[in-house]
Amino acid sequence: MKKLLLFLVILGLMTASLGALAQQEVTLSVLWFNDANESEVFEDTVKDYLEQNPHVKLDMQVIAFSEFEQKLKLMISGGNAPDLARLPTALLPVFLPTLEPVDGYVDDIEAVKAGFMPAMMAYALSPDGKMVAYPTEATGNGMLVNKTAFDKAGIDVAALSQEWTWAQWEEAARKVIDANDNIKYGLAVDFTPHRFSTILYQFGGRMLNEDLTAVAFNNPKTIEMLSWFKRMHDEELIPKSVWMGSEKANELFQAGIAAAHIGGSWNINGYSKDITDFEWMAVRNPKGEINSSVPGGKFIASFQQSPNKQEAQKLMAWFSDATHNAMYCAGTFNLTSRVDAEVNYTANKENFDTFAEDLKVTPAYAAQEWNSPLVGKASAIIREQVVQMLMGNLTPEQAAAEIDAQAAALAQ
Amino acid sequence: MHTGLSTRPRRPRGNFHQIAAPLLFLLPNMLIFVLFIIIPAFQGLRMSLTDWGIFTGSRWVGLRNFERLLSDRVFWITVQNTLVYSAATVALLTVVSLGLAMLLHRNDLRGEKAYRSAFYLPSLLSMVTVGIAWRFILGDEMGIVNYILRTLGGPGVGWLTDGGLAMASVIGVSLWAQAGYYMVIMISGLQAIPPSLYEAARIDGAGRAQTFFHITLPLLKSTLLVVMVLSNISAFKAYELITVMTGGGPGYATKLIVQQVYQVAFMEDRMGYAAAMSVALMAIIGLFTLVQFRLTGKEQDYE
């Protein structure tokens, strides 16, 4: 009997210690995409945390952004969600139902929320007010110009762009093209509704109806912008090869073929490294009816399916505090999403400030529209119909009506 | 009178092995086929009868997805594009690979192996690599071809920005990437034709054209069928090359059914509807394969 008791005690102890060991060793799977060097900087930033918590290991999976949405959807639908993932603004509403709220893992959720910019926190909240992700970096869409080419045309672009309209930009762009042999176009716009919507908002247009329940391109201001976009392509101020071909707007800008680029603030980092042939700078977006950027950003989130929710939440909280967020944003050359982080950029402070100025005057509906899953789902439809218009297959009015009609089927 | 001896002939013992052994050898392949082809196919069929979204769950909708397909203008544009792409690709691949095989199957040409390797090499590359490479070659502003054209004083050509040219470019690149692979199949078919038939034809005074149409083509029928069926299925499923080269654009110009299935499933989160499109695609491929089998007819033994 004694032997049996002793055996049971030893067995119990062994099971308990094995269980404790198993609990201690945690490998957090992280799904990531890069705009530039974000995965490297993320790993550098959390290095201290991993040293202080040796039972935690990271399994980083970095994939191309073009494959990111599909990969994550397949992982979740297969029951294999990662413990952590980097998410852009546009995908946050898509994955919202699968995210694990931060509420419940921190002592004072309101204090945590207050640490971030309200616009960024608006993206990170579920409809019932729960915080489902930590904002990491804020982004804005803005204009980057080839200063050397503007100088050669005798235009002081820094002064002109303090407050300029699209008409003034057009006049300047024509002069720049005339004065520079290699510059063939005034502007390259990324082939994505996100960057396209920057100009759309400036023209006073909207993509959704007032209560954000349906795609509503068929409104006068949006149609006015579509007509302008078509004219710019027809008059070769914007290259056809981006929206109608497969060339990248940033590559045309870097190659010195386009005088300006409407892109995201993450381009500042890339251009700092890659452009050596000419001087470039960020300028204020030209004004249409209003000034506008498109606020956005990146987030880090954990999933309801994650087997290591507790550890994932701890790591996210540590990575997102003011000190580490500042380190991450400085290393990746991004705008911080926190209100209290002091980011010491080693270069390009003026360019970041310019993007931030446009963000400050951006209307709230720009963020609200991009926070709707409708826009993300209709993105491919928007792109296709805009291209149909550029090809001359549809008028701007027909393109707007077609976008609304096709997007309506998404809700059926 | 019962003698205790059976009068019924006993089956030879080897028969069991003759029946069981092939079945056992087939079993692993059949298991893989059932697990990864048959079951997913039936799941896809079931999915096509629902309005399943990845995060929104599934609801039975019967044939509603198929009814919607009938009036979906974009779907029918992609069907038309798929038919154009596949007809052009299959025809060109068959003719070009046969032409290359005719030139390179006799082992009497100097450097023949090097030529064969050169033509076969592109088929070893992944379609993504091929797409990226040709996107750079055919780009409007930064492409190599337009750079050369402009250097020579001509205008650039919208290889990927003009709808018609974009489809032609994609077909041309498909041909470049796959002709070598089908050439190898054609060479093996040509080498299987008995030389005595050509010798007899020559003695009878047949010319080159007569020999080709009356000996080579009829005896190559089964090989041609294989090439046409394989290239047809490959054309209907062409995804990577077109996605990388043109993204299906400009507009709908190069968008095939598979690109539309991807968009509806993964970007619009309408899995059920995308599954209905896939079922329609499967039916179209099946129909075309059947027609090809019928047109090519039964193989005849000329020996």
Q: What is the pLDDT of residues B194-246, one digit of tens each?
A: 989 999 999 988 888 899 999 999 999 989 999 998 999 899 889 999 999 99
The pLDDT of residue B12 is: 55
How far is Cα B53 from Cα A186, in angstroms, rounded to an integer? 42
Q: Which residue has the higher pLDDT, A220 or B154?
A: A220
The pLDDT of residue A109 is: 94
Task: Name residue, tokens 């509704």.
Answer: A193
> Residue B3: pLDDT band by 50, 70, 90 thresholds?
very low
The pLDDT of residue B1 is: 41
Q: How far is CA A47 from CA A44, A51, A342, A343, A412, in A?
A: 5, 6, 20, 19, 47
How far is Cα B132 from Cα B128, in angstroms, rounded to an integer? 6
For residue A16, pLDDT beyond 70: no
A204: left (phi over 0), alpha (psi -120 to 50) or beta: left
Region B48-296: CATH code:
1.10.3720.10
Task: Name residue, tokens 């090989």.
Answer: B223
How far is Cα A249 from Cα A266, in angstroms, rounded to an integer? 14
Of A316, A311, A317, A313, nearest to A25 (Cα)? A311
| Cβ-nearest to A384 among B142, B160, B251 | B251
Q: List chain B residues with CB under 8 Å of A387.
A: 249-251
For residue A410, pLDDT beyond 90: no
Residues A241 and B160: beta-carbon distance below 8 Å: yes
> Residue A319: pLDDT band by 50, 70, 90 thresholds?
very high
Q: What is the DSSP string of A178-221?
A: HH-SS--BS-EE-SSHHHHHHHHHHTT--SB-TTSSSB---SHH
For residue A59, pLDDT beyond 90: yes
The pLDDT of residue B220 is: 92
The mean-pLDDT minimum among A7-11, A266-270, B221-225 falls in: A7-11
The pLDDT of residue A347 is: 81
pLDDT (average), residues B185-192 = 93
ipTM score here? 0.78
**Which tokens sit at A262?**
């409407």
For residue A17, pLDDT beyond 60: no
For residue B93, pLDDT beyond 90: yes
Q: Where in chain A is the domain with CATH 3.40.190.10?
A: 27-139+296-351, 141-292+372-411
- Amino acid at residue number A157: V
**Which tokens sit at A15?**
């099971």
| Cβ-nearest to A380 among B54, B139, B267 | B267
How far is Cα B222 from Cα B183, in angstroms, rounded to an integer? 15
Average pLDDT score over chain B: 88
The pLDDT of residue B4 is: 47
| H-assigned helices in A25-87 | 38-45, 47-52, 65-77
> Residue A317: pLDDT band by 50, 70, 90 thresholds?
very high
Best B141, B145, B241, B266 member to test A by mutation, with max A CBs in 10 Å, is B141
Helix (H, G, I), strand (E, B), or coil: what is residue A282?
Answer: strand
The pLDDT of residue A349 is: 83
Helix (H, G, I), strand (E, B), or coil: what is residue A263?
Answer: strand
φ, ψ of residue A31 to 5 degrees: the values are -100, 125
Q: List chain B residues with CB under 8 Å of A390.
A: 250
Residues A345 and A370: beta-carbon distance below 8 Å: no
**Which tokens sit at B110?**
């100097």
How far is Cα A322 from Cα A331, in angstroms, rounded to an integer? 14
| Cβ-nearest to A410 among B74, B161, B268 | B268
pLDDT (average), residues B282-288 = 87
For residue B269, pLDDT beyond 90: no
Residues B139 and A246: beta-carbon distance below 8 Å: yes
Domain chopping of chain B, boundaries: 48-296
Residues A284 and A162: beta-carbon distance below 8 Å: yes
Residue A346 gets which letter from DSSP? S
Cα A140 to chain centroid distance, Å, stands at: 8
> Residue A3: pLDDT band by 50, 70, 90 thresholds?
low
Q: What is the pLDDT of residues B215-228, one digit of tens each?
A: 999 999 989 999 99
The pLDDT of residue B49 is: 94
Q: What is the pLDDT of residues B11-28, one digit of tens each?
A: 555 677 778 888 888 899
Catalogue the E-assigned strands of B70-195: none
Region A27-139+296-351: CATH code:
3.40.190.10
Average pLDDT score over chain A: 90
Is the peptide bond preceding residue B28 cis, with omega within 30 degrees of 0? Answer: no
For residue B66, pLDDT beyond 80: yes
> Residue B111: pLDDT band by 50, 70, 90 thresholds?
confident
Strands laid side by side in the A260-264 sheet:
A188-189, A260-264, A141-146, A280-283
Give the B window 9-68 contacts with A, CB below 8 Å: 54-55
> Residue B303: pLDDT band by 50, 70, 90 thresholds?
very low
Strands laid side by side in the A26-32 sheet:
A56-62, A26-32, A84-88, A296-302, A134-139, A335-336
Give the gap in angstroms from C-alpha B158 to the nearest C-alpha of chain A: 8
The pLDDT of residue A12 is: 60
Residues B277 and B261: beta-carbon distance below 8 Å: yes
Q: List chain A residues with CB under 8 Å of B252.
A: 384, 388
The pLDDT of residue B295 is: 75
Cα B67 to chain centroid distance, Å, stands at: 28
Residues A170 and A237: beta-carbon distance below 8 Å: yes
| Cβ-nearest to B263 among A251, A380, A388 | A380
Q: What is the pLDDT of residues A93-150, one digit of tens each?
A: 889 889 999 999 999 999 999 999 877 888 898 888 899 999 999 889 999 999 999 9
The pLDDT of residue B175 is: 96
Of B220, B132, B227, nearest to B180 (Cα)? B227
How many A/B residue pairs have CB atoms within 8 Å? 83
Residue B108 gets which letter from DSSP? -
Q: How far is CA A293 from CA A131, A193, A252, B137, in A?
A: 25, 13, 22, 35
Of A287, A271, A280, A263, nearest to A355 (Cα)? A263
Best A244, A248, A390 member to test B by mutation, with max B CBs in 10 Å, is A244
**Which tokens sit at A371?**
């926070």
Question: Is residue A12 exposed (0-12), middle (13-18) or buried (19+ Cβ within 10 Å)?
Answer: exposed
Residue A99 gets which letter from DSSP? B
Q: List chain A residues with CB under 8 Å of B251.
A: 244, 384, 387-388, 391, 393
> Residue A382: pLDDT band by 50, 70, 90 thresholds?
very high
Closest residue of B to A382, CA-based? B251
How far is Cα A352 from Cα A405, in angstroms, rounded to an integer? 39
May I ask the CATH architecture of the domain A141-292+372-411?
3-Layer(aba) Sandwich (3.40)
φ, ψ of residue A246 to 5 degrees: the values are -125, 15
Q: What is the pLDDT of residues A320-370, one digit of tens each?
A: 999 999 999 998 888 888 888 888 888 888 898 898 888 888 888 888 898
Percent of chain A with pLDDT over 90: 68
For residue A397, pLDDT beyond 70: yes
Cα A29 to chain centroid distance, Å, stands at: 22
How far is Cα A186 from Cα A238, in angstroms, rounded to an integer? 6
Closest residue of B to A251, CA-based? B142
**Which tokens sit at A17?**
């210690």
How far is Cα A99 from Cα A116, in angstroms, rounded to an integer? 19
The reply to whether residue B250 touches residue A387, judged by beta carbons under 8 angstroms, is yes
